[in-house]
Amino acid sequence: MALPQAATPGLTRPRRLEGRLRPLALRLTALALCLVAGAALAEEAPPRPAPPAVVSPPAASEPGDTSLSPECRVPGSQLYTLARLGAVKAALKEKRPVRVLSIGGTSAGLGASSTYPVKLETALERSLPDVDVVIEARGLPGEIAGDAAERLRSIVAEVEPDLVVWQVGTHDALARVELSAFAEALDDTVRWIKSHDIDVVLVDPTYTASLATDAYYTSIVNAVREVAVREKVPLVLRYEAMRYLAGRSDKGAEGHMLGRQFRINDLGLRCMAEHVTRAITLSLLQPETTGGTKEPPALKAQGRGDGAGDGKAETKPGPH
């Protein structure tokens, strides 16, 4: 365990994974240049500085979703799985305001305009022109495997929303509750919300490097995915999206006095409203007949040190 180092974007000191990441093309280009300049000169040339630690984005062929702001751009396959949102569609058809209950995690709905619920309302209203979106935001202290499931039912009964956007799993993961208890309670609660003709969008827990190798944490993220698939509700792949953003170049990004993970976490909070809005608006385009969600591939906890092997993960393992 150590205190995190300050982020140093574009840093050039040798890194463990650098060798694997340095593209072959770069070396070939260097060789060609050397040939042009003459062999003797090439031999005396100072060693080429190591390129900044850029991890190529996964599924290189798939571009980031351009409807998102550049800093939040993630390919769709790593951002959401879609499903029908019947209750919201009905509200749109009836031309009445859409009531959204944003719950859990950072949903406490603090008043500042930069906070997630305010951003979510703005982003949804921008994406759904001429629609009035009313966000009710609530924190949800406690674990779903514990009392929070009951508390959530009371809040839903109180607010009577058309849609519940639920950031789920963080508290249970922090409490390391039994995985099966978490999955069962989550499934029960989602089924209960749906049984009252209220739509649900799940948001899985975020990614951070120090938990990339934590099999339990990954299982919690997978459990959320499984419930989303089973209950046919849209899912914002917050973990996957943040892993993608974490793997992008630091070039041009501002530093963070508390280190890289904290900067990425801030970025995640800034992007969440956009990501959730994207999943909702695309889910609204789902045809009536299809109800199923395409199952995202299950996550595996990364072995220590092999994080960048699949091109998605951190190049710099978090200090332990």
Partner 1 sequence: MRDPNAIDFWRGLALVTIFINHVPGNTFERYTYSQYGVSDAAELFVFLAGWSIGIATRGRDGTPEPGGRSVLRLLSRTIEVYRAQLTVMLMALAIIAGTALLLDNPLILEWHNAGGFFADPIQTVVGIVLLTHQLGFFNILPLYVVLLGIAPFFILIARRSRVAALIVSGGLYLISLVEEWNLPSWPGQGDWFFNPLCWQLLLVLGFVLQDWNRESDTLRRWSRRLFPLGVALVLLGIGLALFEIRPDPLRVPEPRLLFTFDKTYLTPARLIHFLGVLLAFGPVYGLIAPWIGWAVAYLTQLGRNSLAVFSMGSILSLGGQLLRFWTGGGFLTDLCILCLGLLALGYTAWFVEWRSRKPRPRV
Shortest distance, CB of residue 37 to partner 1, whole angstroms?
A: 44
CA distances from 60 to 149, 175, 248, 249 (A): 40, 36, 12, 14
Looking at 82, 123, 145, 276, which residue binds partner 1 (CB under 8 A)? 145
Residue 259 backbone zone (phi > 0: left; psi -120 to 50: alpha; other: beta): left
Site for partner 1 in 254-273 (CB under 8 A): 258-259, 261-262, 264-265, 269
Backbone angles phi, psi at 151, to 5 degrees: -65, -40
CA distances from 46 to 12, 22, 36 (A): 15, 18, 16
Looking at 189, 208, 219, 277, which residue binds partner 1 (CB under 8 A)? 208
Backbone angles phi, psi at 70, to 5 degrees: -50, -40
Nearer to partner 1, 136 or 162 (CB): 136
Nearer to partner 1, 198 or 282 (CB): 198
Nearer to partner 1, 183 or 282 (CB): 183
277 binds partner 1 (CB under 8 A): no
* Strand extents, DSSP E, the chain: 80-81, 98-103, 133-138, 163-167, 199-203, 235-236
161 binds partner 1 (CB under 8 A): no
For 78-96, give the secondary structure using H, E and C. Answer: HCEECCCCHHHHHHHHCCC
Three-state DSSP class for 71? helix
CA distances from 13 to 16, 51, 220, 260, 262 (A): 10, 9, 35, 16, 21
Using the contact rule CB under 8 A, the part of the chain among 14-22, 54-62, 271-279, 312-320 near partner 1 is 312-320
Three-state DSSP class for 99? strand
Nearer to partner 1, 217 or 244 (CB): 217
Backbone angles phi, psi at 200, to 5 degrees: -130, 135
Nearer to partner 1, 4 or 311 (CB): 4
Angle between helix 86-93 and helix 260-284 axes, rounded to 10 deg: 60
139 binds partner 1 (CB under 8 A): yes
Looking at 76, 91, 99, 106, which residue binds partner 1 (CB under 8 A)? 106
Shortest distance, CB of residue 102 to partner 1, whole angstroms?
A: 9
158 binds partner 1 (CB under 8 A): yes
What mask of x and - would describe binding to partner 1 in positions 16 to 45, judged by CB under 8 A?
A: ------------------------------
Q: Which residues here bind partner 1, judged by CB under 8 A?
A: 1-4, 105-106, 108-112, 114-115, 117, 136-139, 141-143, 145-147, 150-151, 153-158, 170-178, 192, 196, 205-206, 208-211, 216, 258-259, 261-262, 264-265, 269, 318-320
